[in-house]
């Protein structure tokens, strides 16, 4: 990869504001600084570290437009054929030359380069009154956390990585071999995260929120171990996090998706975004590179997924299966929070649908999205949008800039991963089963839906298999609550309901690591999502309404993608992206 070291561009990015609190740095013009003058003080290293963090905001990493492509490939979402490139990901018909495949690789390796540059300079740094050993350790710990995270995401997307642990200077050094994910784990990811755990602080001051913490390093390393089948190692880390009393489920699940709830008690690591613009920058700017003068890097996710009647592009909408899953998850009618609700707080916080509880974009749902809901589209994503605070996303205008942070890891994810690891580890016991059930029910309790224990106690030890269709829409078959049944529930029900549209493509990587993609797609293909289902759905969610016949012309379109995913999916071709063509052309070792 040809990423020539250029201190000027690195420092310019570093001078941009860090964090949602818009703290700014008063420094010398970075373009006038040479390598001889730089890398002397804690501030020098910290500015460069900010540039390494900023890669998290890039479009193909977590920033918006390109980072939603992976969600197309799951059971959660679908796109439309008039968005040709997104549609190709929905239907597994992409060729490998799409912009996102090359851009994600490039942007993640920018992050690798920037962390390597810091680590290279640390090797020759000498502790002083302006740069103490403790500060050196913290800079190194944050850099290694970020490098591990970027490499983890490279491996998740491409099945392995070209390893660089120093900045390549010569063309020969830039040439590298492609290593398997396990080799990258052993040589870079695990050692980096272990160092981060040893030296990162437990927390940061409010002005530094968004930096990596010890809990974030433990959580990401636990996820690494889980993804690669090291269940006992994952359990140790997850149990440490749960016992730390640092993180707690929020009372209101919607606070995990809002501006007001950023860096709350449940958040373990999240990417900061801001709507604030620097003076003189075009207010319509959505995504920016690290070389511009923007104060706060905004996300475009809200504009991309909101309905066009609310100033969005609706590139992705919830799948019919996902919508039905949310609405089948029955509320606990005895919970006080449900006194005036028909649907769960989790459903209401995650998707917008006709008949939902409350408003959508500060008005009745039917008024906010009058044409599509109830026709070819039965829901829109609320997660990642400003539906609770704005009337309109106003695509490509000054107000289309979203400052909602992207949550990468939160406690609910840890609890579900912990439960999964307990059930999957060799020799899993009845005590493991009970602990896993407790973790799942903690999450269900928060959203005031019927817990699995309550289901089983009231139904002869059985629970509904919510991911499966029964004899009619919104009904499910039942099965005994066993360890195997609980594990299936975690995989097919609880994780998609709780974590849909979150993190760095959580759902896609879950399905792939479970080797469950074909099973899921084939099962969904057999479900009737024709006009008859849409009529029953419309009557179900609106109680007294009848299906609007004026939308008849849409009925043939609602299941266009059903079957295409299952027919086109091939593990060897679709589980991982190919190495981008530009990388193959520039790195001769990858062609051997």
| CB neighbourhood size of 194 (10 A) | 14
* Residues 178-202 pLDDT 10s: 999 999 999 999 999 999 999 999 9
Q: pLDDT of 106-144, one tens digit each?
A: 999 999 999 999 999 999 999 998 899 999 999 999 999
Query: Is residue 396 over pLDDT 80?
Result: no
- What is the separation of C-alpha 449 from the centre of its chain, rounded to a whole number of angstroms? 24
Angle at 491 between CA 421 and CA 260, to 5 degrees: 90
**Distance from the Cα of residue 404 to its chain's centroid:** 13
The CA distance from 355 to 342, in Å, is 9
Task: Please state, in angstroms and rounded to a whole number, the distance separating the CA atoms of residues 405 and 416.
Answer: 22
Helix axes 133-158, 99-122, angle to 10 degrees: 160
Nearest to 25 by CA among 38, 41, 12, 36: 12
The answer to whether 384 and 312 have CB atoms below 8 angstroms apart is no
Q: What pLDDT is attached to residue 437?
A: 98
Task: Please state the pTM of the whole predicted model.
Answer: 0.90
What is the predicted pLDDT for the residue at 336? Answer: 95
For residue 533, the model assigns a pLDDT of: 62
For residues 320 and 536, the answer to whether their CB atoms sit within 8 Å is no
What pLDDT was estimated at residue 12? 37
User: Does the structure show a pLDDT above 90 at 467?
Assistant: yes
Please tell me the predicted confidence (pLDDT) of residue 431: 98
* Pair of tokens at residue 192: 């980096």
Mean pLDDT of 559-585: 86
The per-residue pLDDT for 24 is 24
d(CA 104, CA 473): 39
- 408 with 509: CB under 8 angstroms? no
Task: Quote the pLDDT of residue 448.
Answer: 97
Beta strands 478-480 and 462-464 are: antiparallel
List the beta strands (DSSP E) in 255-301.
267-271
pLDDT tens digits, 24-72:
223 333 334 456 578 989 999 999 999 999 999 998 999 876 678 888 8
Is the pLDDT score of 417 beyond 90?
yes
Instruction: Determine the pLDDT at residue 277.
Output: 57
565-574 mean pLDDT: 92
Give SS3 for 137.
helix
pLDDT at residue 446, as a whole number: 98
How far, in Å, CA of 208 to CA of 214, rounded? 14
100-114, 259-273, 468-482, 496-510: least confident range: 468-482
Least confident stretch, 124-138, 382-396, 539-553, 554-568: 539-553
Taking Cα atoms as reference points, which of 233, 246, 242 lies closest to residue 194? Answer: 233
Taking the alpha carbons at both ends of the chain, their separation in whole angstroms is 16
pLDDT higher than 90, residue 439: yes
Q: 72-107 in b/e burial notation, b at 16+ Cβ within 10 A?
A: bbbbbbbbbeebeebbbbbbbebeeebebbbbbbeb
Which residue has tokens 């977590």? Answer: 62
Residue 99 has pLDDT above 70, yes or no: yes
Q: How confident is the model over 566-588, as a mean pLDDT?
A: 93
Residues of the chain with pLDDT > 70, as a percent, come to 81
DSSP 8-state symbol, 281 = S
Beta pairing partners, 77: 318
> Which residue has better confidence, 352 or 279?
352
**C-alpha to C-alpha distance for 56 and 271, rounded to whole angstroms:** 7
pLDDT the model gives residue 308: 86
Q: Is residue 60 within 8 Å of residue 130, measured between CB atoms?
A: no
212 compared with 282, residue with greater pLDDT = 212
The sign of the CA dihedral 125, 126, 127, 131 is negative
Lowest average pLDDT, out of 356-360, 465-469, 483-487, goes to: 356-360
Residue reference for tokens 């640390």: 122
Q: What are the C-alpha distances in Å from 360 to residues 56, 349, 403, 448?
A: 29, 10, 19, 21
Secondary structure of residue 352 in the 3-state scheme: strand
The pLDDT of residue 532 is 61
Q: Are strands 406-410 and 462-464 parallel, antiparallel or unpaired?
A: unpaired
């Amino acid at each position: 990869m040809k990423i020539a070291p250029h201190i000027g561009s690195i420092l310019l990015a570093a001078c941009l504001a860090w964090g949602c609190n818009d703290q700014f740095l008063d420094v010398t013009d970075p373009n006038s600084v040479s390598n001889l003058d730089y890398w002397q003080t804690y501030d020098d290293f910290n500015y460069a570290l900010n540039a390494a963090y900023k890669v998290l905001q890039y479009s193909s990493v977590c920033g918006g437009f390109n980072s939603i492509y992976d969600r197309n490939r799951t059971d959660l979402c679908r796109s439309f054929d008039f968005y040709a490139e997104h549609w190709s990901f929905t239907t597994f018909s992409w060729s490998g030359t799409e912009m996102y495949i090359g851009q994600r690789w490039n942007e993640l390796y920018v992050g690798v380069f920037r962390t390597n540059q810091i680590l290279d300079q640390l090797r020759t740094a000498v502790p002083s009154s302006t740069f103490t050993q403790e500060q050196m350790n913290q800079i190194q710990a944050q850099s290694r956390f970020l490098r591990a995270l970027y490499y983890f995401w490279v491996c998740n997307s491409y099945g392995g990585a070209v390893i660089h642990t120093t900045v390549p200077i010569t063309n020969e050094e830039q040439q590298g071999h492609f290593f398997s994910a396990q080799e990258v784990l052993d040589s870079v990811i695990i050692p980096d995260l272990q160092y981060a755990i040893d030296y990162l602080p437990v927390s940061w001051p409010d002005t530094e929120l968004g930096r990596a913490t010890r809990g974030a390093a433990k959580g990401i390393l636990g996820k690494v171990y889980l993804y690669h089948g090291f269940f006992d190692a994952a359990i140790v880390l997850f149990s440490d996090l749960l016992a730390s009393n640092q993180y707690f489920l929020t009372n209101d699940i919607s606070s995990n998706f809002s501006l007001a709830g950023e860096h709350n008690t449940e958040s373990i690591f999240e990417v900061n975004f801001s709507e604030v613009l620097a003076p003189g920058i075009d207010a319509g700017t959505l995504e920016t590179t690290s070389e511009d003068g923007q104060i706060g890097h905004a996300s475009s996710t809200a504009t991309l997924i909101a309905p066009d009647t609310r100033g969005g592009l609706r590139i992705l909408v919830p799948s019919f299966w996902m919508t039905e899953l949310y609405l089948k998850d029955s509320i606990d009618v005895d919970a006080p929070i449900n006194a005036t609700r028909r649907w769960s707080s989790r459903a209401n916080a995650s998707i917008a649908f006709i008949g939902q509880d409350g408003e959508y974009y500060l008005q009745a749902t039917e008024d906010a999205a009058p044409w599509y809901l109830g026709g070819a589209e039965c829901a829109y994503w609320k997660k990642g949008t400003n539906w609770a605070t704005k009337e309109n996303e106003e695509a490509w205008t000054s107000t289309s800039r979203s400052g909602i942070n992207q949550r990468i890891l939160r406690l609910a994810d840890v609890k579900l991963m912990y439960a999964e690891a307990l059930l999957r580890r060799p020799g899993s016991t009845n005590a493991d089963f009970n602990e896993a059930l407790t973790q799942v029910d903690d999450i269900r309790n928060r959203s005031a839906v019927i817990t699995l224990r309550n289901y089983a106690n009231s139904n002869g030890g059985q629970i509904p298999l919510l991911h499966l269709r029964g004899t009619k829409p919104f009904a499910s078959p039942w099965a005994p609550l066993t360890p195997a049944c609980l594990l299936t529930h975690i995989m097919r029900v609880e994780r998609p309901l709780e974590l849909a549209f979150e993190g760095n493509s959580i759902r896609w990587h879950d399905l792939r690591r479970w080797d469950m993609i074909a099973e899921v797609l084939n099962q969904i293909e057999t479900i009737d999502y024709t006009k008859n289902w849409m009529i029953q759905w419309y009557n179900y969610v609106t109680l007294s309404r009848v299906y609007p016949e004026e939308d008849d012309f849409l009925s043939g379109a609602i299941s266009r993608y059903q079957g295409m995913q299952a027919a086109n999916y091939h593990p060897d071709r679709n589980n991982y992206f190919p190495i981008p063509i530009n990388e193959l052309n520039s790195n001769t070792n990858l062609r051997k």
